[in-house]
């Protein structure tokens, strides 16, 4: 059964341990990926339910049949698999498209659709970034750089390896209060931009 990520020290120096914050971040990222993964896989079911076409019943059944071959349906069985196991199981998705399926339903039943979900998950998290971890750690004089990278959406601007927002976020080793304060600042900046855009639109500035 897939469990939390746990530390395993392969050396003889058993007294050496990773900071608890590192393991907490890894497990947080893992949980976030799992939610996004399962949401991506099962969202099409909700889409089928709200369609008005006469083929939605047979199309949704065909989709569920394809999921059953991935061995993640029923959903309870997915909780026993690691994220990588679920991603690998995407290769098993084979869906027999009903002859009477409309074009919209067909678009949700082909392998391109399910592979798009896999690619989005695989590109979402690139692991923890050592540079972000260092810059955001308590007492670091580079914390401003770390948070500024998020405001300008250049998450890896001061890093040796490329990564996105998810790795930036989960690599934070600072105080939770600092991250919360930054998120409030980001929210205010966003609302300020929206207000300016509305003003410019209304008055043609």
User: For the chain, which residues make up each domain, given as ranges?
Assistant: 21-122, 130-200
Mean pLDDT of 92-101: 91
User: What would the pLDDT profile of 115-126 be if each residue is shown by its tens digit?
Assistant: 888 888 888 888
Q: How far apart are CA 74 and CA 58, in angstroms?
A: 18
More confidently predicted of 138 and 72: 138
What count of Cα atoms within 13 Å lies in the side-chain half-sphere of residue 133? 15
pLDDT level of residue 2 (50, 70, 90 thresholds): low
Q: How far apart are CA 83 and CA 30, in angstroms?
A: 8
Q: Which pLDDT value is given to residue 1?
A: 42
User: What would the pLDDT profile of 21-42 be if each residue is shown by its tens digit?
Assistant: 898 999 899 888 888 888 888 8
Percent above pLDDT 70 for the chain: 90
Q: What's 3's DSSP letter?
A: -
Q: Which pLDDT value is given to residue 71?
A: 80
Mean pLDDT of 49-69: 94
More confidently predicted of 80 and 11: 11
CB atoms within 10 A of CB 24: 13
31 contacts: CB under 8 Å, gap ≥ 6 = none
User: What would the pLDDT profile of 129-141 be if each residue is shown by its tens digit?
Assistant: 999 999 999 889 9
Mean pLDDT of 63-81: 77
pLDDT level of residue 87 (50, 70, 90 thresholds): confident
Residue 204: which region, alpha, beta or left (left: phi > 0; alpha: psi -120 to 50)? left
């Amino acid at each position: 059964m897939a469990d939390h990520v746990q530390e395993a020290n392969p050396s003889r120096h058993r007294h050496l341990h990773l900071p608890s914050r590192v393991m907490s971040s890894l497990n947080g990222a893992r949980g976030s990926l799992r939610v996004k993964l399962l949401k991506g896989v099962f969202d099409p079911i909700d889409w089928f339910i709200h369609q008005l076409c006469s083929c939605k019943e047979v199309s949704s059944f065909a989709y569920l049949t394809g999921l059953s071959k991935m061995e993640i349906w029923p959903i309870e069985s997915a909780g026993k698999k690691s994220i990588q196991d679920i991603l690998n199981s995407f290769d098993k998705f084979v869906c027999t498209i009903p002859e009477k399926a409309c074009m919209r339903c067909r678009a949700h039943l082909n392998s391109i659709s399910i592979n798009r979900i896999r690619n989005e998950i695989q590109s979402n998290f690139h692991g923890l970034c050592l540079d972000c971890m260092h810059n955001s750690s308590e007492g670091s004089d580079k914390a401003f750089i770390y948070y500024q990278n998020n405001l300008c959406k250049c998450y890896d601007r001061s890093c040796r390896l490329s990564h996105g927002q998810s790795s930036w976020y989960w690599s934070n080793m600072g105080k939770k209060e600092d991250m919360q304060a930054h998120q409030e600042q980001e929210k205010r900046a966003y609302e300020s931009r929206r207000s300016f855009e509305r003003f410019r639109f209304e008055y043609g500035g």
